[in-house]
Copies of this chain bind each other. A is one copy, B any other.
């Protein structure tokens, strides 16, 4: 069973994924990219994966059948395991608990070589509904505190399979980064009596220089304090702390926005590896006036080095104003 361990000084939790148990010679470097009968995520290879949790396709489709558009499966090598109890315990001065949680794969398309920007609007909407539905389902498990949905595309972004997919990891503690954002949002709200993210959207739309794209429901912008070159955040214009409460017109507009922004990054930066991730409120803290869900998109252009590991500072060699200009100008 995987194990959660707490750093005794900083309180940071980490996951020891003993099931993966990597020995020195096991660290490979690259993405497996074998389409056709070798790829477990390709159409027709449904039997190569664990049995699906949910599939989106023709109505009346039977479980694990081949006529799917989006398919959600348990990760075969999960970072956290769904069975058991937390069993918090000490170990001398240290603290540990069982690595309880969930780790699922959202296969975004039956086609091996498509990415989000060359899927149909409808297909991308299905992916977003899959994200929403999985949160609603897992939210019922009271042992879970957070669900992080994320995508690794390309080897520099940590992908190990090339077939387009995103992932979901549900954790039994609220992750540090999310806690920092929620707490920071609270401090801002207590001082201003306004949501800080709503203020950002207002200021950015009025300045314009860091805005990448906009539609009725969403704005895409390069944040003022971008950690990475060409980092883009997509935020809903209407205040909401909970991604899982997204409405149908928002799903339609978010699909268009994600296709557009990822497409712009691909064309501007010559098909970079990238990550995106959804930040939403912790499962047991919904309807927060001080938090605002959003998607962070991070193209992998630079490497995190000793200075960043040691300081938590990031050095960004491209001002977000310039990045936004390039992204606005492309196609």
Binary interface profile of A, 78-91, with partner B (CB < 8 Å = 1, else 0)?
Answer: 01000000000001
A8-B196, A181-B9 are contacts. A15–B303 as well, Cβ < 8 Å?
no
- Contact B229 A92, beta carbon cutoff 8 Å: no
- Is the CB–CB distance between B181 and A17 below 8 Å? no
- A222 to chain B minimum Cβ distance, whole angstroms, is 11
B contact residues around A197 at 8 Å (CB): 9
Please give, as numbers and ranges, the residues of chain B lying within 8 Å of A196 by CB-CB distance.
8-9, 93
| Chain B residues near A230 (CB-CB < 8 A) | 24
Contact of A306 among B16, B25, B150 (CB under 8 A): B150
> A281 interface residue, CB < 8 Å from B?
no
A176 at the interface (CB under 8 A from B): yes
By beta carbon, the residue of chain B nearest A206 is B92
Q: With A9-B196, A14-B227, A22-B318 given, is the CB distance from A152 to B306 under 8 Å?
A: yes
User: Is there an interface contact between B79 and A152, defined as CB atoms closer than 8 Å?
Assistant: no
In the assembled complex, the Cα of A306 lies from the Cα of B185 at a distance in Å of 22
The 8 A CB mask of A1-42 against B (1 = contact, 0 = none) is 000011111111111111011111111000000000000000
Most buried by B among A10, A18, A185, A311: A311
Residues of B within 8 A of A17 (CB): 315-317
- A251 at the B interface (CB under 8 A): no
